[in-house]
Amino acid sequence: MPVDQTGATPPLHILLAEDEVVTRLAARVLLERAGHRVVAVEDGPAAVAAAADGGFDLILMDLGLPGLPGDEAVRAIRRHPNGVSPRILMLTASATSDGQDRCTTCGADGMLVKPLGLDTLSAALAGRFPAGPAAPEQAFDEGAIRTMREMLPAARVAELIGKTAAVLRQQGQVLDDALKAGDRATAGAMAHKIAGVSGQYGCLALRRAARALEADLERPDADPVPRAGEMAGMLGPALEFLERCAAASRS
């Protein structure tokens, strides 16, 4: 799986394991636009089963999969008796040391910080693994949505963006309820999911706030309330951004 002299990655057969539907769809569009063949699954057991069939050049494995976490799925794939040994890159929106340690110690070949980008994927396949993209100062980036507009009918793009907004609203409510109940584990899981979804759809300020909240929730001595308030303040503008993008796709 070399990278050619122009920096592009040759077409690959890729297994994409990602549980969040809106993130999975955006990543699949991005990969297929670059000429790759993609099989997408949404949980750990399905990823292990698909990998066992062989034939993949690359597996992109989300850390937070249901059924079997991504790091355990990687271990299961590496133990497979048929000796399947594709290149595996972990995908995570995690800003926590625990999440990043799990990605780097499970037997994967490297880790990419969400949102998935073709430039970072090409760099990883060439053996260059940045710790993650520098946090941009802008609040929004329409790049991912622009890519979808180039690949999909306008009505489909509007539908996907609408689903993304609905997912973020639901996750924000679950996070708020978990914090009120003192359930830091659930709140941390929701912050992680919000970071992944928002980053993939260009809501960069919300992504930064969600990652910071997730990091605070991992520390038992940290008070998550200030970060939670910051994230809540970013959610409304993110939803407005997505609604504007959906309306533009429908017009």
76/171 same-domain check: no
pLDDT at residue 1 is higher than 50? no
Q: Per residue in 128-163, pLDDT tens?
A: 765 544 445 689 988 878 878 887 888 988 999 999
Cβ neighbors of 119 (< 8 A, separation 6 or more) are none
- For 5, the 3-state DSSP assignment is coil
- Within a domain: 152: yes
Residue 21 reports pLDDT greater than 90: no
**Which of 91, 125, 159 marks a domain boundary?**
125
Number of structural domains (the chain) is 2
User: Which residues does 230 contact at the CB level (< 8 Å), separation at least 6?
Assistant: 209, 212, 213
pLDDT tens for residues 72-118? 999 999 988 776 678 999 998 876 778 888 988 999 998 888 888 77
Residues 157 and 236 in one domain: yes
pLDDT of residue 130: 55
pTM of the model: 0.78
Is residue 226 a part of any domain in this protein? yes
Per residue in 29-85, pLDDT (tens digit) is 889 888 999 999 999 999 999 999 878 999 999 998 999 999 999 999 998 877 667
Domain of 197? Answer: 143-250
Q: What is the CB neighbour count within 10 angstroms for residue 185?
A: 10
User: Tens digits of per-residue pLDDT, 197-225?
Assistant: 998 899 999 999 999 999 999 899 999 99
